[in-house]
Each structure stands twice: as C-alpha cells, then as structure tokens.
C-alpha cells in the first residue's frame, strides 16, 4: 500500500478499547465517558480487519488503547493473530501499555511472539504518579516491568515531559532506564481531546529538556531510525537510547508509514487530522471483503501530507476533539 505522496504504508496501530483504569490528566478528564460496548468491533471482526491489512502489506501491528490489556479476551486475540508472525507475513506484533496488568500477561505475551513493548511511565515518584494518573499505583507498574524483564521482553519507556511534574527528574529517569536496560522516549503533550483543564500549563518543549539532559549525560545523535516520529540520541554512559517526539516543535510527517484503527472500526490516516473511513460498516456490509478493501483504497487517498498540531494559547479548545485513548497513542 502507498498513499498519494508515495509513502509506503506498512504500520497499523489498533486501539482495541477506549477504556482505561488510569485517568492520566493530559490524556482524559477524570469523569471520562467511554463508548458503549455495543459500538466496539468484536475480536473476530478486529482479527478480520487487521488480517486484511497484513494481506495488503502491513508488516507491523501495535495494539494500544485505552489500556489494551483491559480488553476482555485480548490474550486470545493475540494468540490467534500471532499466526501472521508464524507465517512470516508480519514482522512485529507489539503493544503500548500502562503496565497495570502486565505482571499477569508478560510471560504469555513473550511466548506468543511479542518481543518488545512500550510502557508509559511519567515519574518514579509514587505520589506524583498518583497525581498524574489519578487512579494508578506505581508499585503495580514496577511489578509489571519486573515481569516483562524476567520474561525477556524488550521494554521502551514512554514518558510525557510535563512542566512542574517530572521536569526535574528526567535525568534520573535516564539513569534508571540505563540500569534496567530500557530505552526511553520523551514525548511532548499533544492537543488531543478535552481534558477539562489547560494543557498549556504542563506543556514542556523537548528542546529545553534536551539542554538539561546535555548537562548530565553525553548525548550523541543516533543513526537509529524506526521510520517513526522519534529522533534518537545515544547515551554514552548508559549505552541506552533516548528518543524525542516533538509533534509541536518539529514535524516528522515526510516518512510517516502508519494508520490508526479505532476500537469502533474507524481508520484514521493521521493522529493529528480528521481524515478517516468507516471500516466497520464496510466489513459488515459485504462478507466477501470487497467493500472493506475498497474502503481501505479510499483511505489511502485521504492520508494528509502532515499534521497541523498547535497547542492553543490561554487554554482554548484542543486542535482535535478526539482523545488519545480513542485513536491510540
């Protein structure tokens, strides 16, 4: 698959549920309303849609959410879908998780062919963790990470850089990741969905973070490139990498190879734009998958050249109404 700008489209991110046990303040409001279960694609339908993408050339699938490990039956889904890893059609099946359920599933994930996972963790301070996630417990996440390490899963920590919350401990996080053999990706807050507050207050440009980290660590630009939005540096002292995702201060769209499927079957062609097609209706209207394939063809023509994120000044409305848990991070 290729879009109209000649970019090969090989990477599908799937939000398997919009539900979450945490309420990270930059992601959703405390009193978040979730979708009625009846609107979700069934796991069989998810398998059918994702398998169609694999048949059409997708080589990497990332499960996300909401919290993907909270979707009932998700481990059975992964078990079935891992047939594409066995056949060689799929290079990688991975997930992004808050790790609250990871201690239960880490070994099975590894046994099913998942090699690497991304775990979101913004602070190592238990009180701040509670403040940021509102409902989460740091010890549960650390337990999940321990289980991932002992299962042999490679872990990358995703950390949203937050002014007044974790800006003073990012250097310590680099050290902690180094000791545990985790890579680290730092992310700027993105203006997605109403959070019942002002995002500008916690927005921290990564340029500033980089300057602070430069004082404590020897950072050199890394040739490592996943085709994704991160720019990487190697940390000489720890031997690990740090990625920087800067959607607001730097565009990264020229090499974008990804699409995002929501748990209701809407396919978004860009995290920062509204262009989408409804695959659920296409799937349900035609058992031969003709309509599904036609809808995917249409989607490829809609992929925009780039996103248009802008963090609104003075707490104005977010650039996009959709929350991150709907499209998946």
Q: How many CB atoms lie within 10 A of CB 37?
A: 10
DSSP at 238: T
N-terminal to C-terminal alpha carbon distance within the chain: 22
Candidates 59-67, 101-109, 230-238, 245-253; binding stretch for ligand SF4 (CB under 6 A): 59-67
Phi and psi at 323, nearest 5°, equal: -85, 160
Asked if 187 touches ligand SF4 (CB under 6 A), the answer is: no
Asked if 67 touches ligand SAM (CB under 6 A), the answer is: yes
Asked if 325 touches ligand SAM (CB under 6 A), the answer is: yes
Q: In what order do the strands lie in the sheet with 92-97?
A: 219-221, 231-235, 241-245, 183-187, 154-160, 116-120, 92-97, 60-64, 11-15, 258-261, 266-268, 276-278
Asked if 319 touches ligand SAM (CB under 6 A), the answer is: no
Which of residues 29 and 80 has its CB atom nearest to ligand SAM in the complex? Answer: 29
Q: Which does 64 bind (CB under 5 to 8 A by kind): ligand SF4, ligand SAM, none?
A: ligand SAM
Q: How far is the CB of 230 from ligand SF4 (least distance, A)?
A: 17
* Contact present, 132 and 25 (Cβ < 8 Å): yes
191-250 positions binding ligand SAM, by CB under 6 A: 192
Asked if 160 touches ligand SAM (CB under 6 A), the answer is: yes
Asked if 22 touches ligand SF4 (CB under 6 A), the answer is: yes
Q: Among residues 97, 103, 238, 266, which is the contact residue for ligand SAM, using CB under 6 A? A: 97
Q: Which does 161 bind (CB under 5 to 8 A by kind): ligand SAM, ligand SF4, none?
A: none
Asked if 63 touches ligand SAM (CB under 6 A), the answer is: no
User: Nearest-5° angle of CA 282, CA 321, CA 38?
Assistant: 45
Which of residues 141 and 213 has its CB atom nearest to ligand SAM in the complex? Answer: 141
Asked if 318 touches ligand SF4 (CB under 6 A), the answer is: no
Contacts of residue 111, defined as CB under 8 A and 6 or more positions apart, other chains included, come to none
Burial class (CB in 10 A: 0-12, 13-18, 19+), 307: buried
Candidates 22-30, 138-146, 164-172, 273-281; binding stretch for ligand SF4 (CB under 6 A): 22-30
240-299 positions binding ligand SF4, by CB under 6 A: none
**Element spanning 50, H or E:** helix 43-55
Burial class (CB in 10 A: 0-12, 13-18, 19+), 130: middle
Asked if 120 touches ligand SF4 (CB under 6 A), the answer is: yes
* Contact present, 26 and 195 (Cβ < 8 Å): yes
| Contact string 77-116 vs ligand SF4 (x = CB under 6 A) | ---------------------x------------------
Nearest to residue 204, comparing CAs of 194, 189, 185, 184? 189
d(CA 47, CA 54): 10
Q: Which residues bind ligand SAM (CB under 6 A)?
A: 20, 26-27, 64-65, 67, 96-98, 120, 158, 160, 187, 189-190, 192, 324-325, 328-329
Q: Which residues bind ligand SF4 (CB under 6 A)?
A: 20, 22-24, 27-28, 65-67, 98, 120, 324-325
């Amino acid at each position: 698959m290729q879009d109209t700008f000649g970019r090969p489209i090989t990477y599908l991110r799937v939000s398997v549920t919009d539900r979450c046990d945490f309420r990270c303040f930059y992601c959703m409001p405390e009193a978040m309303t979730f979708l009625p279960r009846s609107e979700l694609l069934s796991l069989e339908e998810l398998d059918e849609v994702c398998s169609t993408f694999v048949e059409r050339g997708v080589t990497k699938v990332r499960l996300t959410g909401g919290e993907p490990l909270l979707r009932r039956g998700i481990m059975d889904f992964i078990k079935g879908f891992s047939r594409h890893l066995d056949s060689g059609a799929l290079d990688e099946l991975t997930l992004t998780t808050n790790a609250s359920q990871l201690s239960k599933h880490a070994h099975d994930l590894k046994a099913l062919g998942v090699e690497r996972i991304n775990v979101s963790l913004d602070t190592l301070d238990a009180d701040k963790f509670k403040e940021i996630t509102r409902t989460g417990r740091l010890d549960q996440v650390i337990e999940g990470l321990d289980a991932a390490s002992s299962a042999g899963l490679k872990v990358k920590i995703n950390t949203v850089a937050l002014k007044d919350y974790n800006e003073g401990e990012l250097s310590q996080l680099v050290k902690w990741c180094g000791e545990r053999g985790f890579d680290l990706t730092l992310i700027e807050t993105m203006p997605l969905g109403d959070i019942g507050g002002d995002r500008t207050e916690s927005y921290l440009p990564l340029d500033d973070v980089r300057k602070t980290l430069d004082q404590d660590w020897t950072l050199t630009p890394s040739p490592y490139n996943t085709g994704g939005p991160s720019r990487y540096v190697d940390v000489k002292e720890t031997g690990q990498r740090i990625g920087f995702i800067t959607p607001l201060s730097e565009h990264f769209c020229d090499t974008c190879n990804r699409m995002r499927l929501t748990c209701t079957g809407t396919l978004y062609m860009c995290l920062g734009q509204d262009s989408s097609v409804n695959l659920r209706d296409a799937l349900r209207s035609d058992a031969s998958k003709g309509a599904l394939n036609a809808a995917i063809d249409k989607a490829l023509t809609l992929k925009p050249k780039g996103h248009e994120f802008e963090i609104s000044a003075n707490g104005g409305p977010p650039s996009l109404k959709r929350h991150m848990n709907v499209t998946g991070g």
